[in-house]
Amino acid sequence: MSVAIRIQQVCKRFDATQALNAVDLEVAQGEFFGLLGPNGAGKTTLISALAGLTRPDSGSLSVMGYDVLTDYRAARRQLGVVPQELVFDPFFSVRETLQIQSGYFGISDNDDWIDEILENLDLTTKANANMRTLSGGMKRRVLVAQALVHRPPVIVLDEPTAGVDVELRQMLWRFIRRLNADGHTIVLTTHYLEEAESLCGRIAMLQGGRIVALDTTQNLLQRFSTHTLRLRCRGELPPAVALRAQQSGGWWSLPFDRFDEIEPLLAEIRNAGCAIDDLDVGKPDLEDVFIRVMHGQAH
């Protein structure tokens, strides 16, 4: 598959902070890609470098084959960025904002597409409202619309759902999923790990300006997380089981990899004279993966 984003050996230092440290990354066309990491990990710096807002000290970045520095006009036409900050121009209405943004990309007659975006983002009734009068959620939607006016094949969303209510979040993801299904490459940064887990096919985790994990979401879950059998019981657990278990709030947690491990485990507990009062099974989740990767507990 063709490459949508290619990042090679990119380094960026801000005074004493090494924001990006020899980052190598490729995102294929049509991917829904997640970029995760704690605050200050370098996610926004990496996106800014891709968008030409930050100039790397070394290395190269390209979007759809166009170098972001030497061929910046072509590269920027391929890229739509939803910035993290809730920024807007208070002089203009929603429609004027989108028409001006279209004009920046050399598109003079874009009203049909603007109407379609407004409808999909539930902004049609606000088209002629001044940006100042919109709520935070609506301003966020306009930011998404601005990133889409020139129909970029690659869309980068930098924490687009920060501070956004559940309804808007779901509507936004429906629209972004549709764009992805239509062939757009999506790169997402978010602190909502359940969103990343359900949306992203592949994920990179950044820490201290380095990529510390990069794989498909499924592989990350399998490699860095396990299922957990949680149970509450009366009596002593057999010593072999107790060694593997962790106790918290009256519950024992036992990690396991395959479901066929459960029955022998329960049998062993019962045979030891331990009565089970309650139990549940926890699936592996990205939060678990994230914490393990960030604390270097990969197994």
Partner 1 sequence: MMPRLHGAFFTLFYKEVLRFWKVASQTVGAPVMTAVLYLLIFSHALEGHVQIHGVSYTAFLIPGLVMMSVLQNAFANSSSSLIQSKVTGNIVFTLLAPISHHEFYAAYVLAAIVRGLMVGVGVLAVTMWFAPLQFIYPLWILLFAILGGGILGSLGVIAGIWAEKFDQLAAFQNFLIMPLTFLSGVFYSIASLPAFWQHVSHWNPVFYMIDGFRHGFFGVSDVSPWISLAVGGGCFSALAVLSLNLLSRGYKLRT
Instruction: Summarize as ranges the residues that interact with partner 1 (CB under 8 A).
Output: 14, 48, 51-55, 72-74, 76-77, 79, 81, 83, 85, 87-92, 96, 99-106, 108-109, 146
Q: Which is nearer to partner 1, 67 or 285 (CB)?
A: 67
- Minimal distance, residue 155 CB to partner 1, in Å: 12
Residue whose C-alpha is closest to residue 79's, from 174, 168, 7: 7
- Minimal distance, residue 33 CB to partner 1, in Å: 19
Strand partners, 7: 25, 61
Q: Which is nearer to partner 1, 44 or 225 (CB)?
A: 44
* Distance of alpha carbon 154 from alpha carbon 75, whole angstroms: 10
What's the token pair of residue 15? 């005074």
Residue whose C-alpha is closest to residue 151's, from 182, 119, 174, 197: 182
Q: Which is nearer to partner 1, 80 or 137 (CB)?
A: 80
Q: Which is nearer to partner 1, 137 or 284 (CB)?
A: 137
Per residue in 132-169, is it b (16+ CB within 10 Å) or e — as a string? Answer: eebeebbbbbbbbbbbbbbbbbbbbbbbbbeebeeebb
- Minimal distance, residue 24 CB to partner 1, in Å: 21
Q: Phi/psi of residue 279, each to 5°?
A: -155, 155
Q: Which is nearer to partner 1, 82 or 233 (CB)?
A: 82
- Minimal distance, residue 15 CB to partner 1, in Å: 11
- Minimal distance, residue 182 CB to partner 1, in Å: 22
